[in-house]
Amino acid sequence: MTSITQQLHDLGQSLWLDNITRAMLDDGTLRRYVERFSVTGLTSNPTIFDEAIAATAAYDVSIRELARSGLAGEDLFVEIALQDLRRAADILRPVYEASDGADGWVSMEVSPLIADDTAATVAAARRIHSQADRPNLFVKIPGTVAGLAAIEESIFAGVPINVTLLFSREQYLAAAEAYLRGIERRLAAGLGARVESVASLFVSRWDRAVAGRDPAPLEQGLGVAIARRSYRTYRELLASARWRALADAGARAQRLLWASTGVKDPHARASVYVEALAAPGTIDTMPEKTLLAFAADGRVGAALAEDGGDAEEVIARFGRAGVDVAALGTKLQVDGAAAFVTSWQNLLTRIAAKSAALEDR
């Protein structure tokens, strides 16, 4: 009998894990997820690493050795993270090769402290990808107004990019435009058209922001509606003459990725977003708790409609309830970027404290 997670793949959607710890690499958990639950990629973020470093001693030896070698701050964190991500990339390398590079990816972010500096972000993206020394590693750059130029320049430079912090159709389109321009510039310069990218649209934060404004269940809520609206635009872009010309030149589609698919409402089914957003040609990256819940009792129904289904009706319903969807999308991205800075700074503080504590051991 085909597993429920494999059914997602059969439908055409990739399932990635939104987590990585050294413990799950050491004890074989990630490998088991790949084998049992059809996990074909993973994403990470500063909070995940911060919690892992705080909760265990698994990183102590590496932190002490890297600190003694002269690394500190962001440089030390990047190498700590890449130690884990290289191992994860190697576990996923067979998937990467079997899918001809469409799947089997891991992701590492650039520092949010340089988010407003295009040149510094582009340089950091190239440095991280080179330092990782793995073909299946995305560098994450936020799809904010400040980040769009860095995304375009990084694609032009041939660096695979995971565009993060997208919350609306308009923000997704801006990220897609940056990707397309980067590929078009490569072709104009006589370079190859193939540079992989994904565009990560965050879902659950919409529903947390409007909690109490609408009694409908989450699968009929604002987060899913925004995702469905974006999916329609994604399919329209892939059907456009502009994209077909790039595909004919060898370009690969920038896949739409559902992020933030863990449920925040304790009364909702843990896999509700996963089930509502089963869509061919997309990726769903989910927290470990969501993955296990979906594997245990999830359901895969009909694929998401290419026209977005009832997305516009649901969004209009929230408009009538007083929700300015455009303004809220902007606010979610601004707040998300600020939260990313806070998480990054907390992580650097944690690493500095660990380094000091381990110095004489």
- What DSSP letter does each residue of 221-239 carry, written as one string? SHHHHHHHHHHHHHHHHHT
| Number of Cβ within a 10 Å radius of residue 329 | 19
Would you give the DSSP letter of residue 221? S
CA pair distance 317, 218, nearest whole angstrom: 14
Q: Is the pLDDT of residue 1 over 60?
A: no
Q: What is the mean pLDDT of residues 53-63?
A: 91
pLDDT tens across 124-169, in order? Answer: 999 999 999 999 999 999 999 999 999 999 999 999 999 999 999 9
CA pair distance 355, 339, nearest whole angstrom: 24
Query: What does the pLDDT read at residue 361?
Result: 66
Please name the amino acid found at residue 319: G
Tokens of 185: 């510039």
Query: What does the pLDDT read at residue 359?
Result: 80
pLDDT tens across 74-94, in order? Answer: 999 999 999 999 999 999 999
Q: What is the mean pLDDT of residues 216-232?
A: 90
The number of CA neighbours under 13 Å toward the Cβ of 77 is: 27
pLDDT band at 18, cuts 50/70/90?
very high
The percent of residues in the chain predicted with pLDDT above 70, rounded, is 99
CA pair distance 269, 353, nearest whole angstrom: 38
The number of CA neighbours under 13 Å toward the Cβ of 90 is: 9
- Of 253, 102, 149, the C-alpha closest to 141 is 149
What's the whole-number average pLDDT of the chain?
95
pLDDT tens across 163-176, in order? Answer: 999 999 999 999 99
Taking a C-beta distance cutoff of 8 angstroms, is the pair 146, 174 a contact?
no
Residues 6 or more apart whose CB falls under 8 angstroms from that of 4 comprise: 294, 295, 298, 299, 300
Q: Is the pLDDT of residue 214 over 90?
A: no
Active site residues: 140
Query: What does the pLDDT read at residue 349?
Result: 95
Tokens of 322: 């007083």
Tokens 């964190």, located at residue: 77
Taking a C-beta distance cutoff of 8 angstroms, is the pair 121, 74 a contact?
no
Residue 165, sorted as left (phi over 0), alpha (psi -120 to 50) or beta, turns out to be left
The percent of residues in the chain predicted with pLDDT above 90, rounded, is 88
Tokens of 324: 């300015």
Every domain of the chain and the residues it spans: 4-358
CATH class given for the domain over 4-358: alpha beta
Q: Is the pLDDT of residue 265 over 90?
A: no
Residues 6 or more apart whose CB falls under 8 angstroms from that of 32 comprise: none
Please name the amino acid found at residue 286: M
Taking a C-beta distance cutoff of 8 angstroms, is the pair 151, 104 a contact?
no
For 239, counting Cβ atoms within 10 Å of its Cβ (0-12 exposed, 13-18 middle, 19+ buried), the class is exposed
